[in-house]
Amino acid sequence: MALAITIGGTDRTSACKLETIEVVNTIAANSDTAEMVVSVSSTAGWRPKAGNPVVVTNGATKEFGGIVYEVTEMDFGLERLRYQVNARDYTYLFDKYLVVEEYASTRASGIVTNIVTSYTTGFTTTNVMTAPTVGAQTFDYIEPSQAVRQLADLVGYGFYIDYDKDVHFYSLASVSAPVASIDLDSDITNYGDMRITETVGHGVKNRNYIKGFKQKSSGTMTRAFAGDGVSKFFALGYEPASTSASDITGTVGASALSFGRDMRDSQPDNPVGGATDAYICFDNMGVRFDVTPSSTSLVSFTFKYMNEIPTVVEDTEAQSTMATREGVGDGVHEFAWNDPGLTAPDGTDNLALLKGREILTRYSRARLQTKFRSFTQGWRAGQSLQLISTRRMGGLNKTFYVQQVVKRIVNHPSGGSPTFTYDVALADSALAV
């Protein structure tokens, strides 16, 4: 089946210079891009316009779908004009509205689905895979793609929007390439002109300190104060974990306290609480009363608190490998990552572990990178496959991940299907450096 290119919903294949079509799909970017040259008669009554939808279809396969974001006009004689057309995928439409939302701790995939449903129009979530739980998230007027990308980075997932406007939020290494494996010693069909590079230029990081975030203590702390008949605020010195009864209890005199959140459940200039109501001020690490405890009252609080303890995530096997290669020392290369967003009020450091493992995945050892050219259809960033060889790089039998794909037309017979060439870049890491 023949190639078809629509611009603004109208078939403009005959106006497109097919040899100029180039589509770039990369794991490191939020969106794919495409460019092409369109030739139009000066009296045609139409031209490609910024904001037009553009779709490139090869038979039943969409090679690109998105929005024209830039058009450059060039004079090409008295009767014709040429337009350099640059497009990006449907992320342009996905980001029309900004996300303003607070989410309680829940699965990242649930948040992604809610963002797509609440803040976008015309997009689906068929390929949003179940993802790990993340801590409470706050998005303050940010683009939906940025919010989803943040969630993907938190849990080590991939994210992209396909040419049918479906959101893919997926576990890395779960997307297969058009061929499951390539034997570099015998395959003459699926690849050619391969170059393999080994590098530590990205900076080896095989012992990582994940810090800057807080997590709930396993034990409790008690603070007691003597009421003076004047003070309404009592500084605890540490940030309580929450207002939940499982995290904080207290008494004023012989009476048990109930807890709310200061400035939300009660405000100093508009007090609503009684003598046994107390309000936690998390920023000031203390508790405020609406009713002043008397000078004969003992005020006591027992609570779990938030503290900052670095989480160490390391790869001892990678360290041993680097020690052998370097010929001196223990092969350890340390790195610290500071991220307050990894706060874990549930007392776990799962997010910190995920972040540490993500860094190890990218940087713990020497990186193998390769590029090749293929005529096999279906390559896309984020896919994985096995590369096998007894002679390349001293022997290979390893999983590689597609980092970038550049698609171009190299042949288009009249009335027939075009031949695309795919320049494929891979690395032995599921994440981009």
Reply yes or no on domain 3-89 having CATH 3.40.630.30. no
Give the start-to-end residue ranges of the domains of the chain: 3-89, 94-171, 215-307
| pLDDT of 134 | 84
* pLDDT tens sequence across 19-72: 899 999 988 666 799 999 999 998 888 999 999 999 999 888 889 999 999 999
**Distance between CA atoms of 96 and 93, rounded to whole angstroms?**
5
User: Which helix (H) or strand (E) segment is 153 a member of?
Assistant: helix 144-155
pTM over 0.75: no
Mean pLDDT of 373-380: 90
Residues 6 or more apart from 351 whose CB is under 8 A from it? 134, 135, 154, 155, 213, 342, 344
Please enumerate in sequence order all residues whose Cβ is within 8 A of that of 317, keeping only pairs 6 or more positions apart, or say none: none
Residue 353 phi, psi dihedral angles, 5° rounding: -65, -45
User: Which token pair is 80?
Assistant: 């014709």
pLDDT > 70: percent of the chain: 95
Q: Tell me the pLDDT tens digit for each residue of 160-204.
A: 999 999 999 998 777 889 999 999 999 989 999 999 999 998 899
Q: Do the first three CATH levels of 3-89 and 94-171 match, i.e. the same topology?
A: no
> Smallest Cα–Cα separation from 333: which of 321, 347, 349, 345?
321
Q: Which fold has domain 94-171?
A: Phage tail protein beta-alpha-beta fold (3.55.50)
Among the listed residues 40, 24, 43, the one whose alpha carbon sits nearest the alpha carbon of residue 83: 40
In eight-state DSSP terms, residue 374 is E
Q: List pLDDT tens digits, range 231-283.
A: 999 999 999 999 999 999 999 999 999 999 999 999 999 999 999 999 999 99
Collapsing DSSP states into helix, strand and coil, what is residue 218?
Answer: coil
3-state SS string over 269-324?
Answer: CECCCCCCEEEEECCCCEEEECCCCCCCCEEEEEECEEECCCEEEECHHHHHHHHH
